[in-house]
Structure 1
Amino acid sequence: MAPTHTWTFRPRFRRNAFGWRSQPAMQRIEEAVAEIKDVAAHDPALAAEGAVIFLEKLSPAIAQVDSSSGAIGGTVNRAIAELAKIIGAAPASETQRETWLQRLWDAFLADDIPYLEALGDHWGAACGSVEVASEQADRLLVGLRDAWEGPKKGPRSFTGESHCLSALLAAERYEEVLAWVEKSPYTMWSYVKFGVKALVAMGRPEEAVAYAEARSEGRRSPAVAYACETILRDAGMEEEAYANYAFVVHQHGSYLSWFRGVAKAYPAIPKARVLADLVAHTPGKEGKWFAAARSAKLYDEAIRLVQLSPCEPKTLMKAAKAETSKRPKFAVQAGLAALRWQVEGHGYKAVANDARDAFAITMRAAEAAGEVEAVRAQVRAWVETPPQGENKMVRKLRECLGEER
């Protein structure tokens, strides 16, 4: 060990170093992990010492950081997962490893936020061997036994629950893991996941998936769905993973990103099928998938979907404008859909001039497609007998038709 080594991250992680700002804190955390990983390439023991120092300093340094978005928590959890592996992989004497683990335990106990909560999930990895993990499990089982097997009226929790289950898992004491998860006073994924991992380690992936679903929120929970999808894909059960979990795991804020996420994760499945399955997964939201269908070059399907339920008119206007020269007939249908949904009162922060813009875009597409009269007749029918009654869009379109005469 080189006690005089100068870590770049060390002075940066003084107490309350970042105030409330999360972005600088996340950047410094990522830089610290990168620095430790670089050292690990040529001096694993020194890197492990650096990882312990960093984890000791981490929570006090970011205690005041705004964590409302969850971004800083995700960065910390990823750092803990990587550093636990570095600590576990480092060559060390029995005394040195015990010292590292004790320092990490003390940092965990002193963490009030708690930012180091995820350390428990990776305790077995930090142990570095089956033997050390087994010793740690025996030590921690004293507290777990008092909490989970003690009087039901007394306290049922123990600070090192995850540490203990993680150590048992790393010690390959799989049946004990399952037995203790069954004794848990609460049915929580934070405990159940260790039983799932034990079953996977025992070569029983399908049973692990059933176990996860039976003892948690099942497919509705992103964490459970992610674990089950991973298990099935690792076992070569791609179709089962896709059918049961892909739509939960890869869900995004936008429908286009959601489609792209699933399609990217399962490149062997045709995009047309992915789209159809997502549409079936979200009944009543067919029009929301217009942009996804267009991105997959499924133009006929895009138009069919947008005729079934509303889509943001601005999205349709943008598509019509972009496709006028290449696919004028598609552009006409997209433009007409924009006008239809405007007339029916749809559109985010819509103003009357949006109808004028949509009309102009649609008519340009109609000229390119040779469908001017048909398009004008359709718009006139909408404004003469508005499906949802009078509104500002209907009145503006009447003006547009009058200006064309």
Structure 2
Amino acid sequence: MKRPSYPWAFRPRLRARGFSWRGSSLAAQRLKEAVSEVKAVSRQDPLVAADGAIILMEKLWPALEQIDSSSGALGSAVGKTVHALLDLLIAAPADADLREEWLTRLWTAVQEDGVDFLTEVSERWGELCGTPARASQAADELRVLVQRSWSEPHGAYFRGTPACLSCLLAAGRHQELLDLIDTAPFLWWHDRRYGVRALTAMGQTDAAIRYAEASRGSNDSPVVIARACEEILLAAGRSDEAYRRYALAANPGGTHLATFRALKKKYPQKDPRGILDDLIGGTPGEEGKWFAAAKSGGFLDLAAELAGRSPVDIATLIRAARDHLASDPAFALAAATAALRWMARGHFYEITSGEVWQATEFALQAAGTVGRLEDTQGFVRTLINSRDTYAFVSEQLKRRFQTDGHPR
């Protein structure tokens, strides 16, 4: 089959050494545009798109090699790019000759990649081969090199190791894969994850879990391993066990609220309040960090309780008080007074006068609505007069409050 050609717009935008040291943001944008272009073409001609995907991957290292990647942003953008392109390539309906040409070009790109931008290409080499027979052939070609590298003192690095393991898996040579991994010179999840998948493919769910648990090297992420075990149990229909053993460890989000939402989505059969209680119980002394999750879940009584047990971000408390002044003034009062209490104890740096005044105003408004104005004014006077109150907060409360306890 003749290789298709196409006037790709991304070609001149990703020329060799075309980005400066600080070109990370621009490069990420160019990669996003390129992937969009390839995906658009794939809807009309998947073979042309697949060729574009390879061209793009061939250009990654030459185009990006001069960029400072220390922030991790560029690596993240490249990772998303490669993942999207690989999905297109694997699904493309290429004949054996064309796929062989793709494999040759991709392997050259992997070998010339200066910082392992194309790691996932090697990790999914068995899928890229297209058929179990071709994957088996590649496994035979690579296995000798893997064994040679592992026989070196302390084990030598060979970039094709994941490709070999991936090919054995794709070829269905599961026991051979497990036997080969057993000869590795050190314990490393990146190798042993293929063994976990082999055992799963063999229907040995519990053995796969044990194998994964035994794969915790000193530098391996416990989150990644817990997530793999969770996925195995979920796929086996053992969701209760997956939740009990791995859910909390496998699903840390960027925020506590994101963690709660992720677990609710993954385990819809579980009571959200029960999930939240489990999360709270897993962070003793930091219960307040789940305030936003409790509020988002509609558990306002629990949120108010959490705000009193340990510090909560002041801006979060003030926003909650403001947003619930009309709908739930009792909760708004609890949030506002908690903000004042934690500010008075000096738990947060860079408190502003505006935050103190806002919290006070919302507390008084809510207190007036629920008939607790006098109690709340007394609470504020106590903060003003306490020697333990952070001096800045005390001064701002004095300015906000008159000596008779009424707001200006």
Q: TM-score by structure 1 length?
A: 0.90
User: Which residue matches 1:262?
Assistant: 263
Structure 1 residues 96 and 292: CA distance shift in structure 2, 3 A: closer
Give the residue type in structure 1 aligned to 2:51.
E
Tell me which of 70, 75, 78 is aligned to 1:76: 78
Give the residue type in structure 2 aligned to 1:208.
A
User: Which residue matches 1:184?
Assistant: 184
Mapped partners of 1:80, 1:48: distance in 2: 12
Structure 1 residues 59 and 206: CA distance shift in structure 2, 3 A: same
Check the 8 A contact 2:318/2:355 in 1, yes or no: no
User: Which residue matches 1:208?
Assistant: 208
> After the TM superposition, which of the residue ranges 194-203 and 48-57 deviates more from structure 2?
48-57
Mapped partners of 1:160, 1:202: distance in 2: 25
User: Which residue matches 2:316?
Assistant: 315
Over the matched positions of the two proteins, sequence identity in percent amounts to 39
Tell me which of 96, 99, 105 is aligned to 1:97: 99
> After the TM superposition, which of the residue ranges 27-36 and 116-125 deviates more from structure 2?
27-36
Structure 1 residues 358 and 47: CA distance shift in structure 2, 3 A: closer
Tell me which of 26, 48, 59 is aligned to 2:61: 59
> After the TM superposition, which of the residue ranges 8-17 and 367-376 deviates more from structure 2?
8-17
User: Which residue matches 2:172?
Assistant: 172
Structure 1 residues 389 and 204: CA distance shift in structure 2, 3 A: same
Check the 8 A contact 2:136/2:167 in 1, yes or no: yes
Tell me which of 66, 84, 87 is aligned to 2:89: 87
- Superposed, 1:4-403 pairs within 5 Å as 4-19=5-20, 20-148=22-150, 150-152=151-153, 156-216=156-216, 221-352=222-353, 354-386=355-387, 388=388, 391-399=391-399, 400-402=401-403
Structure 1 residues 251 and 12: CA distance shift in structure 2, 3 A: same
Check the 8 A contact 1:84/1:123 in 2, yes or no: no
Q: CA deviation at 1:161?
A: 0.6
Superimposed CA distance per residue, residues 382-401 of structure 1 (whole angstroms, 9 cap, x where no aligned partner): 33344x35622124334415
Mapped partners of 1:25, 1:353: distance in 2: 40
Alignment: residue pair count: 402
Structure 1 residues 21 and 237: CA distance shift in structure 2, 3 A: farther
Check the 8 A contact 1:312/1:346 in 2, yes or no: no
Mapped partners of 1:279, 1:355: distance in 2: 28
Check the 8 A contact 2:367/2:376 in 1, yes or no: yes
Mapped partners of 2:90, 2:396: distance in 1: 69
Superimposed CA distance per residue, residues 315-344 of structure 1 (whole angstroms, 9 cap, x where no aligned partner): 222222221222122222222211211221
Mapped partners of 2:397, 2:254: distance in 1: 33
Give the residue type in structure 2 aligned to 1:109.
Q
Structure 1 residues 358 and 172: CA distance shift in structure 2, 3 A: same
Give the residue type in structure 1 aligned to 2:18.
A
Give the residue type in structure 2 aligned to 1:175.
Q
Superimposed CA distance per residue, residues 232-288 of structure 1 (whole angstroms, 9 cap, x where no aligned partner): 222222222223333344323332232223223323322211211111111111112
Superimposed CA distance per residue, residues 47-101 of structure 1 (whole angstroms, 9 cap, x where no aligned partner): 3333322221222112223323323323333333343344344455544433322
Check the 8 A contact 1:328/1:369 in 2, yes or no: yes
Mapped partners of 2:354, 2:95: distance in 1: 75
Q: CA deviation at 1:404?
A: 3.7
Partner secondary structure for residue 182 of structure 2: helix
Mapped partners of 1:324, 1:83: distance in 2: 50
Q: TM-score by structure 2 length?
A: 0.89
Q: CA deviation at 1:220?
A: 5.5
Mapped partners of 2:107, 2:122: distance in 1: 9
Mapped partners of 1:292, 1:88: distance in 2: 39
Q: CA deviation at 1:372?
A: 0.9
CA RMSD of aligned residues (A): 2.5
Q: CA deviation at 1:123?
A: 0.6
Mapped partners of 1:242, 1:363: distance in 2: 43
Structure 1 residues 235 and 23: CA distance shift in structure 2, 3 A: farther
Partner secondary structure for residue 65 of structure 1: coil
Give the residue type in structure 2 aligned to 1:8.
A
Structure 1 residues 98 and 42: CA distance shift in structure 2, 3 A: same
Mapped partners of 1:74, 1:294: distance in 2: 32
Superimposed CA distance per residue, residues 103-137 of structure 1 (whole angstroms, 9 cap, x where no aligned partner): 21111111112211221101111101011111111
> After the TM superposition, which of the residue ranges 134-143 and 178-187 deviates more from structure 2?
178-187
Partner secondary structure for residue 17 of structure 1: coil
Structure 1 residues 211 and 89: CA distance shift in structure 2, 3 A: same
> After the TM superposition, which of the residue ranges 220-229 and 340-349 deviates more from structure 2?
220-229
Structure 1 residues 144 and 296: CA distance shift in structure 2, 3 A: same
Give the residue type in structure 2 aligned to 1:232.
L
Q: CA deviation at 1:371?
A: 0.8
Mapped partners of 1:402, 1:85: distance in 2: 69
